[in-house]
Structure formats: C-alpha cells, structure tokens
Structure 1
C-alpha cells in the first residue's frame, strides 16, 4: 500500500511540478475587487482618513486647489505687509503699474537689477491682472490698494482715468512714510544708468527733479527753483525720494489737498503734477527740500532732444525719464533708438523674467 501511495504522489508531481499551496490558493479566492462593496468601503474610509489628517500634515499648497485659488490670497495682502516684506535698510522703491505698462515695468526692473536694488521694489498694482502676474512671477512684490481704478482708461495721458490713477499716488506714499520707511517713487518709463542712492546726500525731507528742458549749470543750486509763468514751479512728480519726517508727510498731505481743490475737468485735463508743485511751493518754508542735479536726473525733453548737452555731460547720467512724449509705441521706439529698451535681449535679468 505504501509503495502504491508513493507512485501516486510521483505521478502528481510530474503532472504539475509547481503545485499551488493550500495557503496561496485560499488567498487568491479572497482577493477583493476595487469595485466590490468591500473595496468601495475601504476606499471611502481611506478618503475620510486623508481628509482628517492631511491638513495637519502640511499638504503642499495647490495639491487639490486651482491656480486661481492660490493667487487669490494676494487680494488680502496689505500695503503694510508688502512694505515690511520688501524694504531693505528701511527703504522701499515704489512704482504704480497697470497691465498695459508691464513691458515698461520689466524694462525698468532690468535697469534696477543691474545696480542691485531690485529686492527693495514694491509694485503697486492698479488692476488685479497686474497683481496676480507680478506675484506669480515674484511673490510678495506686488500689492493692490482697493478700489482698483478702471484699467481701460488709466493709461491714457490727460484722461480722467489717468488723473484718477495718478491722484492715488500721494496717499500710497504718505501711508509708507507713516509706517516709518524711506520711500523712492519712480514712474516705470524710466531707466537707471547708475545707482541713484549716492546722490541722496544729507538728510533732507524731500528730493526731486526739475522737469524743465532748459539747461542748468552743472553746479546749480539744490533749492526749489523760482516759480514759472503759471506762478508755480515745474518739478517732476515722477521721481521723488522722501524720508519719514514731519516735513515729507506735510508735503504729501498738501498734495492730497491740492488734488481735491483742483480736480480733473474736460477743460483742464489735469494730472497730478501741478498739484505736487503747488504742494511744494506752499510748504517750502516749513520743509527741507532738495533739487537733485540735472546732469544726473534729466527730463526727457533734455536728454532725448539736446544731443550737445548729452555729450557734454556724458558719464554723469543716472536716471533717464522717457517723458515729453506720449503713447506706448512712441516711448518704446525712442528707448530703442537710444539703446535703452532692454527687455528684448535682457529679459532674464529682470526678477519677472519674460512676460
């Protein structure tokens, strides 16, 4: 009998040399389908566990949220938070930009980056498209102070939209001063050829530039110039540096008052600059004012139109302002003609990269 059983086992081994063990056979029979009732219950339980514990485990932002959702946090980003984030050595560089001016912003940033001051820059976005675009590329460097102006009209010089856009400026600057910071304001149709900070000599309240095209002596006075034919000076409101002093705050408050006294109308089609000049003229006896050197900070009416002067002052230019001309295309062409349009070949030098 024993020999018969032995032969029977041998025959089974030959017929199936890799038999399935009773344990593995049992496991195969118990495999659970994902779509079975048990499988669905397990999957549901897993999702509940993940929902409870993942928020406490620091899930990467945006894993289950859309890109728009992650950008929406910038709607609540305050000016105080933004200034605290970007300021270096108590100083912030501010510009105000709407979406059509983004190429000029990038051009300006390239020139600032070449002088290692880009991390001080805060972009005051005048529309949500600009707020999101800048913070997507360069987180924390753009803030919007509601309400946002009408982006369709804010860029047309002489329009009521442009007036509404520029008239917000002194309020923003005053707020920064009240937070205790030095602030430099630039329009973004400017290009830095050198570092302007060594020119901010002494401890004056407000530093500014003359917007006239008439040539001054190289060693001209730094006092506020005499009023012109309209009874006021012609100082540029596009390049200002201020320290957080009582005098600087007084000028900003007076600027705000003058804008309210002289609002935009179809007849005047004013902008913010006359009001800034009235503010300077009416507070001159109470504030320490400083006119920056013309050779370093020329107006566009001088730099782009007086070739003889440019040659005579070569090597002295610091910030070039592309004013005395209107229209995006005309400004870009002029920058191109003078080798100052940098975004085509040097976009990667900007913190925003290619837009």
Structure 2
C-alpha cells in the first residue's frame, strides 16, 4: 500500500473514530458536536425556552388549582367534614367570622397558637371571601354554612346586621353538638393568656362567664347568678363551652326559640345575648350549668377598667374579652394600649401568617 494512501486512512480514522458503515451512508446527516459553536447556541436557546416555559406552566397549574377545583372543594365542604378534620379528642374550638374581622381572627389565633390548641380551631366563615382566604392559607380550617348573611361591612353592635350575624350562632353550635362533638365557642375579640381547658372541670353541660364588671370573691359560686334588674341574668354569650349532652342541646334549642320570639326591630335593637340568658334562666332546673371563675375569665369592663383588681389577680387571667367598648378601631387601640394586639409584632405565629 502506498504510504500516501495509508496516511489518508489514518487521518480519516482520527477525524472520525466511529465511521458510519457504507450501508447507511445514503441516510447519514452530519452530527453536531455539543462543544461546537452551533451546539452551544442550540443549548443556550433550549435553556431560555425552558426557563420561560416551566415557571409559566407552574403558575398556570397553581392558578387553575386555586381558581378551580380547590375553590369548589371548600364551597362544598360540609360542617361534618370540617369538624371531623379539626377536632382533637372529640373537641373543637369554633369562631364565626366575616371578612372585616379577619385581623381580629389573626390576633386571636396567635394567642391560641401559643397554647398549642390552634389545630382544633374551626372558622365558621360568614362569607365566601373569608372561606377562601382562610382555606388558602390554612386548608381545611374554615367552613361556610348557608345561607350567607350580608356581611360585607363590619356591623355595629345593636344594628340589624349585627343581630343577623350573631343570631346564627346557636344553630351552628347545635349542629356540632348533634354530630357528637364537644365545642368551645369564642368571639374573636378575645385573647388567650393561658390554656383554658384545665378550668373546664367536671362534666357539666354548659360553661359560661359572667358579663358583669362587679368584683366577685375569688371563691365565688359556680352556679348561675341571680337575675338582675331586667329579670334575667347577665351571662356573656361570647365564651361558651358545651358538651354534647341533652342538657346542652336543650339550651341551644331554647336560645334559638328566644331569638325567634325577640326579633330585631328599630325600636328594640336586640342582640343574641339577652336571648341566651333567657334560655339559661328557663332551662336552669333541667341543665347542669357552670359559671367559670371571674379571675380567669374577666369581662372587658373589669379587666380594662379596674387596675387595682388586675394587679390583685395578676397571673390568674386566662381569656381576656375586649367588650364593653364598640367600634372596630377602638377595640384595636385598646388592645394595643394593653399590649394585646399581637399582630403588630407576632403575625407569623398565626397559622394564617400575613393576611
């Protein structure tokens, strides 16, 4: 073999160590090296396309999920499903909230989270905006019970809107009792300073707090207090603990009846609390009732207005109720003045985070 031919064959082998067989020569297309200029351009182009396409696909998937199936899921979520999801040891903590009160809900949740009971909380949303907001941030912890009242504004105490909102409360609680669960109800203008469950002693039907600001002795009776000037007691309807007994159900049914007998009118601007007291008074002989200790569960008229009493009972306070004051902004200011508006500095302690 001539030396020149031998050299050409060796050069071809070095240039192409994996030559195409002669049989596939007709279909052969020149391969592109990933390290060539063309290969690098193709690689960079693919990276740009994928970098734009994949995030967009993720966003679309999230949007479709949030706007479609997940929203319809919460819309169809039943009270039985919701309570079953959140209840621990057969007990659920319930509040009822409309959109204007979401900041108060967050403040209340921070205080409950500090006592490690947040997973037992079920938010009864009184509008779809609240339902979706809570379940978006904290899936499964909100339910809506139709029909939905008009709750687009923060209703003033004594208004018809406020009555329509609060008068739904005994029906919600009765439904939970009928499902066989123990339930604690709180208004969200409350703050937990300690765990209230150790104070729910014995096995009484209904536990409640006095709404009077008059100071009681530390060893006061746990019986239903005597009626006041209007012929009924002044028990607060904003903090109630109920066991799923026939006695507790009887009180809720009587409360519903009293609300129907005393509807709101422009002359008589009623709210749900007098009806609750009449229900307690009229069923007292048939139901095991328990008044919680004042030092642990003081009314706002006592805690925020009697500095001497607060100092004397320091370390005994469990749940503080920001009542005896009306107005959204006034309540927030008072909480701030007493260091109880927790969302200012501790919002991330809430299961909802920033809302």
Match status 1:165 vs 2:142: no
Structure 1 CA distance, aligned partners of 2:136 and 2:75?
A: 13
The unaligned stretches of length 5 or more in structure 2 are: 31-59
SS in 1 for 2:64: coil
Per-residue deviation, 1:24: 6.7
Alignment of 1:299-318 (within 5 A): 299-318=299-318
Per-residue deviation, 1:267: 1.1
Q: Which residue of 2 aligns with 1:213?
A: 213
Cα distance, 1:134–1:13 mapped onto 2, change above 3 Å? same
Match status 1:174 vs 2:154: no
Q: TM-score by structure 2 length? A: 0.85
Cα distance, 1:340–1:258 mapped onto 2, change above 3 Å? same
Per-residue deviation, 1:311: 0.8
What do the CA deviations read for 1:37-89 (whole angstroms, capped 9, x no partner)? Answer: xxxxxxxxxxxxxxxxxxxxxxxx94682421122210000000000000001
What do the CA deviations read for 1:178-201 (whole angstroms, capped 9, x no partner)? Answer: 111110000000000111111111
Structure 2 CA distance, aligned partners of 1:62 and 1:16?
A: 52
What do the CA deviations read for 1:174-224 (whole angstroms, capped 9, x no partner)? Answer: 010011111000000000011111111111000000001111111111111
Structure 2 CA distance, aligned partners of 1:116 and 1:24?
A: 75
Q: Which residue of 1 aligns with 2:98?
A: 98
Alignment of 1:196-275 (within 5 A): 196-275=196-275
Structure 2 CA distance, aligned partners of 1:97 and 1:83?
A: 16
**Misfit runs of 4+, over 3 Å:** 6-25, 61-64
The unaligned stretches of length 5 or more in structure 1 are: 30-60
SS in 1 for 2:208: strand
Cα distance, 1:201–1:24 mapped onto 2, change above 3 Å? farther
What do the CA deviations read for 1:276-305 (whole angstroms, capped 9, x no partner)? Answer: 001001101100000101111010011001
Alignment of 1:122-161 (within 5 A): 122-153=122-153, 155-161=155-161
Match status 1:81 vs 2:92: no
Per-residue deviation, 1:155: 3.0
Structure 2 CA distance, aligned partners of 1:15 and 1:117?
A: 78
What do the CA deviations read for 1:7-38 (whole angstroms, capped 9, x no partner)? Answer: 78977998998578463761549xxxxxxxxx
What do the CA deviations read for 1:125-145 (whole angstroms, capped 9, x no partner)? Answer: 111111111111111110000
Q: Which residue of 1 aligns with 2:48?
A: none
CA contact 2:100–2:153 (8 Å) conserved in 1: no
CA contact 1:100–1:155 (8 Å) conserved in 2: no
Q: Which residue of 1 aligns with 2:66?
A: 67
Structure 2 CA distance, aligned partners of 1:24 and 1:216?
A: 104
CA contact 1:153–1:159 (8 Å) conserved in 2: no
How many equivalent residue pairs? Answer: 323
Q: Which residue of 2 aligns with 1:188?
A: 188
SS in 2 for 1:149: coil
Structure 1 CA distance, aligned partners of 2:25 and 2:289?
A: 91
